[in-house]
Structure 1
Amino acid sequence: MSDGEGAPGNDGSQFDRLPATADEREVEGRATREEVLDWWAERFGLAPETFANHTFWEKGKGKIWVFADDLPSPQELEGVGMTVLRTRQEHWKPTTTAVRKWGHLATENVIELSPGQATAFAAGHDQELPEWEGDWGYLIATHELAGDQVPIGVGLYLYDELRSVVPKGYQEELPDLGE
């Protein structure tokens, strides 16, 4: 598929492996493996080695998938691995699935919620949290479970408010976690 001017374009019917670096980019606007790894490292402190045995793919415009193996590119499949990131928008957004899988490794932009806050967040409710002193933007929301901080999902923090962006299919009514 081309962009009408002869340059390769994005084909939403197939998965294309992300190029390793910007020098290898053929489709304008497509993220690179290097940019994805840098983003996870800068935003959440995840070491690039976290994804050492994974390949990254784009299907559609900015929906990034991760796969724990390698395949020839392109692939005309319905799914390859799992979605991890939305790009091609002003602010890249991690998926709830990715945060639940790798969020326990994050060291930056993690907001630890009290039991009551975690219950509200998991149910999809926004809440005032002026006490957060970290960055604005997408955060990994966690709560304590059996002594560990467990990722619940992705929140968007703006103007002293934590917005739950947990998809409806992932929202749940947690049992009373107590305070």
Structure 2
Amino acid sequence: MTDGDRADAEDRDADRKSNDGQRFDRLPATEAERTVEGRASRREVLEYVDDRFGIPPETFDDYTFWEKGAGKIWIYAGEASSPLEIEAIGMTCLRTRQEHWKPTTDFVQRFGRHAQTCVIELDPEAARRFVAGEDQELEWDGDWGYLVVGHELAGDLEPIGVGMYVHGELRSMMPKGRQRKL
């Protein structure tokens, strides 16, 4: 190996120990395997969705988790080499580098039907208001924080999106571009 090859290898190794907004890095399996300070591990992600929403970890057996930038976690159905310098892989699922981890609307709409806890079911009028992006006062005896918000459709609970419940108020986290007046 030449001195130039060694320097290139050292640069690549240093790059893997930092976040890069242009690169996807697969989450380490455990905290012990973490090379980037603050990066979530696969185990932490699975524990979060299990503890918060009661979604069993085995739901994600066929998925890999990736970070692009600082704290934007993506989920991908399959395998890929790491790192990847592409625009997108799978879909965003969590924002982790903030005080409270926040699931994305896409993640809740795709996996929320597996949730057993922190799920709130809205009646038709409340669901319309939620989709329109309106906050609303309502009583709920569950945990405060981010919730899976759903509505009954054809006999099943269909996840609509992410809500934030605090002080008797359900705040709609529906992205502006997806809000609809129904």
TM-score, structure 1 as length reference: 0.92
> Mapping of 1:1-179 within 5 angstroms?
8-129=17-138, 131-174=139-182
SS of corresponding position for 1:151: strand
What percent identity do the matched residue pairs reach? 60
Q: What residue ranges of structure 2 are gaps of 5+ in the alignment?
A: 1-9
Deviation at 1:6, TM superposition (A): 9.6
Which runs of 5 or more residues in structure 1 are unaligned?
175-179
Kindly provide the amino acid, as one letter, of the partner of residue 94 in structure 1: P
Counterpart residue type for residue 21 of structure 1 = T
For 1:23, the aligned partner's letter is: A
Identify if the C-alpha distance between structure 1 residues 51 and 95 changes in structure 2 by more than 3 Å, giving closer, same or farther: same
- Partner secondary structure for residue 169 of structure 1: helix
Please, what is the CA RMSD of the aligned residues? 1.6
Could you report, residue by residue, the CA deviation over 1:46-101 in whole angstroms, capped at 9, with x for unpaired residues? Answer: 00011101100000110000000111100000001000000010000000000000
Rounded Cα–Cα distance in structure 1 between residues aligned with 2:158 and 2:78: 26
Q: Which protein shows a greater Rg?
A: 2
**Residue equivalent to 1:177:** none
Q: Distance in 1 between matches of 2:86 and 2:17?
A: 20
Q: Structure 1, residues 99-143: CA drift from partner, whole Å, max 9, x if none?
A: 0001011000000101110000011000001x2000000001101
CA distance in 2, matches of 1:6, 1:134: 43
User: C-alpha distance in 2, partners of 1:6/1:142?
Assistant: 41
- Greater percentage in helix: 2
Deviations 1:23-44 (A, max 9, x none): 0000000000000000000000
Once the two structures are superposed, what CA deviation does each residue of 1:144-176 show, in whole Å capped at 9, x if it has no partner?
1111111110000011100001101221222xx
